[in-house]
A and B are shown apart, each in its own frame.
Chain A
Amino acid sequence: MAAAREEILAALAKRTMAPAEHPGSEGPWQSFRDRVAIFRERLEAAAGECVPVADEGRLAEAVAAIARERSASRVLSLVAAVRSIGAASRDPHDVDGVGLAVLEAQLGVAENGAVWITDGGLAPRSVFSLPEHLVVVLRAGAIVDQMHDAYARLSFSERGFGCFLSGPSKTADIEQSLVIGAHGARTLTVLLLGDA
C-alpha cells in the first residue's frame, strides 16, 4: 500500500509535463434579466415542475395537494412548515415506502434548473433518492445565474453530502427514449416561495 503510494508519486515527480498556471475563476459568465423565468424553463426542460407559492403559510396546503395528486400516503418532511405523515426512523432503508419527501433547497441555478440540497444531518441520505416523489422548497431570491455564482456561495469545509438535483430521475438507455423515474424520484416539484 505505502509502496504503491510512493511509487506513483515518484513516477509523477519524474514526468516532464510543462508547468501551467491555474486560470482563476473570473468570468465573463452568463447572467439573465429574468432568472426566475429561465430557472422555470430549464427545470421544465429537465422534466421537473415549478409551482409558485405566495408565502410560507401556504406551503402545507401546496404539499398536501401534491401528496393527494400523487397518492402519497407517507410524507417525510424536512421543512419546518410542513408536517410529516407516518413516522420514519433513522434507518435509511426505512425511507423505502415514503411516497413524498419534502426538502429545502439552499440555492437554485437558473442556467440548468438545478437546486442545491444538503443532508444537514436531518434525515438519512436515502431521502434524496428513495422516495417516489420529491418536493423541494426554494426561495425565488435564492436563484443564482449560473454554476460559478452557485459555488461562490457554497462551503465544503465540513463532513456532509450535497447534491445539485435537476428534475426527477431519468434514463434514455433504451434506444435513446427518455423515461422518467429510472431509480429515484418519479416526479420533482419545486415550490417557489415569494414568486406568486
Chain B
Amino acid sequence: MTHAENARAFVADDVRAHWHDEALWFVRAKRDAAMRTVPEWEILRTRAAEIKAHALSRLGDYLVEFEANATKLGAVVHWARDADEHNRIVLSLLRERGFRRVVKSKSMLTEECGLNPYLERHGIEVVDTDLGERIVQLRREPPSHIVLPAIHLRKEEIGVLFHAELGTAAGESDPKVLTEAARRGLRGKFLEAEAGITGVNFAIAETGGIVVCTNEGNADLGTSLPRLHVACMGIEKVIPRAADLAVFLRLLARSATGQHLTTYTSHFHGPRPGAELHVVLVDDGRSALAARPAFSPSLSCIRCGACLNTCPVFRRSGGHSYETSVAGPIGSILAPARDPERHRSLPLACSLCGSCTDVCPVRIDLHHQLLSWRGVLARKRLLGDGKRRAMQLAAFVLARPRLYERVARFARSAARALPSGLVGRLGGVSKDRRLPEPPGESFREQLARRRARGRG
C-alpha cells in the first residue's frame, strides 16, 4: 500500500486526525519554548552535525575503539550484519542461560529487526516496559511514533484496552489511573525478569560506555534487577568522546518533548557486579548507506522525533501510514534505502516545506534528501507510469514558452468552467486536495497590461 492509500483510513476519522495534528503541534511548540532558553542553540546544532560528520567519517575506527574499551570494562561486544543475525545473537544469549522472561525498554533498532516477534516465536516472553510501547504491544500493533509510540490513540481506547488486559474499571480513562495500573502490572514483570534488553542512545568510543535515555526509568529498572543486560544499537550510534554528550544531550530532549533533559540519562560503563552486559552492534544496511554521499547524513539522526512532530504530512496522516519502524521525514529517507520498491511512496509524502530541516538538531538536510530520493526513484522507474508521463509532458511544455502560454490560458478557462472534482482528476491531483481558484489573468498578461497603462 502507498502512504496516500494508508493515510485515507486515518483522515477518514476527522476528529482523531485533527486531534493528532494538534497534539503533535503542541509538542513542537514545547520544543520551541525549550530551544529559546538556550542562546547558543544554533551553535549547538552545528557542533552536533560536525561531531556526527567526523564520527561517521571514521566510523570503523571508533567502533573498534569502543569495542576495545567496552571489553576492558567487562562488557561483551557482538557484531551483526543484519536483523536476522542480531535476533539470533540475542536469542542465543538468552538460551545459553536458560532465560525465558525478558523486559525491554524502548529501542527502535529492535523494532527495525523485528526482535519481539522473533523471540516470541522461540518461546521467550518479551514485555515492553515503556508505557506507550506496552500499550501498542497489548494492542498487537507497532508504535506509530519513535518518541510517542501511542500518540495515535485516544485515552478512551486505552481505557477499553486496560479494562480487558489489566482489569481496570470499565469506562475508566483517566491517564493517571491507567498509568498507575500499568505501573502495578509491570512492577511484577521487572522483579521476575531474567534479562533486560535496552536500546542505546549514544555509545562512547573513548570510554567504552553506553548512554540510555528514558523519562519513566524503565531502562534503569530493567537493567538493575535481572542478571543480564543486552544493549542493542545501530553502528551509527558511536560518538568519539564523553564530552560530546554535552552537545547531544542539550539538544535531544529539548527537540523531542521540550524537556531540558530526559529524566533518567543513564551511563553504563561495564556490567554491574555479579551481572553481565552484552552490546550488539548492528549494521543492517548502515554501512551501505554510509557509502551513498547524498543520503549518508541521515545516519547522524539521534531519533528525537522533532521532524515528525513538525511535519504537516505526518501530523495529518499518522505514523502507521508509513509502514516502517521509523516514520515521518527521517523514516522516509531511511526506508527507501533499505527497500526502494516497497517504500517508494514515502519520499512523495512530503510537501518540501523544509520545516523538518529547520528543526533537526543535527542539521540533516531532510527535505533535500527527500527530493533527491524522488530523483533516484524516477531513474529506477519506481514513481509509476502516470507520474512519469505527466512529468515528461510538463518538461515538454515548460521548455516551450509559447506553447506554455497557450496551454496555461486554456487551463485557466477550463478550470473555471468545469466542476472542481473533474479538474482535480485531469490535473493529476488527488481527490484529498483542493486546487486554488484560478486567477483571472496570468502574470504575463498582467505585466503586459500594466506596461501598456504605464505608457499610456
Chain A residues close to B by CB (< 8 Å): 1, 4-5, 7-9, 11-23, 25, 27-30, 42, 45-46, 92-93, 96, 109, 111-114, 119, 121, 124-126, 128-130, 146-148, 150-152, 154, 156-177, 179, 181-185
Contact = CB atoms under 8 A, between A and B. Distances in A.
Given A20-B54, A174-B155, A183-B218, A130 B39 contact: no
Contacts of A111: 37-38, 250, 260
Interface stretch (B6-14, B286-294, B379-387, B425-433): B286-294
Given A15-B290, A121-B273, A174-B131, A179 B266 contact: no
B291 A22 contact: no
Contacts of A119: 272
B246 interface: yes
B246 A25 contact: yes
Contact of B245 (A96, A112, A129, A151): A151
Interface stretch (B118-126, B145-153, B362-370): B145-153
B131 A30 contact: no
Interface stretch (B75-83, B109-117, B322-330, B390-398): B75-83
Given A9-B63, A19-B57, 9 more contacts: A8-B79, A130-B221, A148-B246, A156-B204, A159-B74, A166-B262, A168-B263, A173-B149, A174-B155
Contacts of A45: 260
Contact of A182 (B217, B259, B293): B217
Contacts of A126: 220-221, 224-225
Given A147-B250, A156-B204, A171 B225 contact: no
Given A146-B250, A171-B131, A173-B149, A129 B224 contact: yes
A169 B249 contact: no
Contact of B291 (A14, A125, A154, A176): A14
Contacts of B27: 176
Nearest to B85: A4
Contacts of A109: 261
B337 interface: no
B47 interface: yes
Interface in B29-70: 37-40, 43, 46-47, 50-51, 53-54, 56-60, 63-64
B409 interface: no
B364 to A, nearest CB: 14
A72 B193 CA distance: 26
Given A18-B57, A23-B47, A173 B221 contact: no
Contact of A15 (B85, B179, B291): B291
25 contacts: A4-B79, A8-B79, A11-B287, A16-B291, A25-B244, A25-B246, A30-B40, A93-B191, A111-B38, A114-B265, A126-B224, A129-B217, A164-B264, A166-B259, A169-B215, A171-B179, A172-B257, A173-B150, A174-B178, A174-B179, A182-B179, A182-B215, A183-B129, A183-B186, A184-B263
Given A8-B81, A148-B243, A173-B135, A125 B220 contact: yes
B183 interface: yes
B137 interface: no
Interface in B133-188: 135, 148-151, 153-155, 158, 175-176, 178-180, 182-183, 186-187
A103 to B, nearest CB: 13
Given A8-B81, A171-B215, A171-B216, A128 B224 contact: yes
A161 B260 contact: no
Nearest to B225: A92
A177 B175 CA distance: 7
A11 B283 contact: yes
Interface string B245-277: 111011000000101111111111111110000
A151 B79 contact: no
A169 B250 contact: no
Query: Of B23, B73, B175, B283, which is in contact with the most chain A CB atoms at under 10 Å from its CB?
Result: B175
Contacts of A181: 179-180, 183
B176 A17 contact: no
A146 B44 CA distance: 13
Query: Of A12, A19, A124, which is in contact with the most chain B CB atoms at under 10 Å from its CB?
Result: A12
Contacts of A172: 148, 215, 257
B60 A13 contact: yes
B280 to A, nearest CB: 10
A151 to B, nearest CB: 5
Nearest to A109: B261
A15 B286 CA distance: 11
A147 B245 contact: yes
Contact of B220 (A46, A151, A163): A163
A176 B40 contact: no
B296 interface: yes
Nearest to B60: A12
Contacts of A175: 23, 153-155, 175
A18 B56 CA distance: 9
A165 B250 CA distance: 14
Given A12-B287, A13-B60, A27 B221 contact: no
Given A174-B178, A185-B217, A1 B78 contact: yes
B263 A46 contact: yes
Given A14-B291, A148-B243, A156-B204, A161 B217 contact: no
B17 interface: no
Contacts of A13: 60
B312 interface: no
Contacts of B38: 30, 111
Contacts of A150: 246
B150 A125 contact: no
Contacts of B287: 8, 11-12, 15
Contacts of A161: 266-269, 272
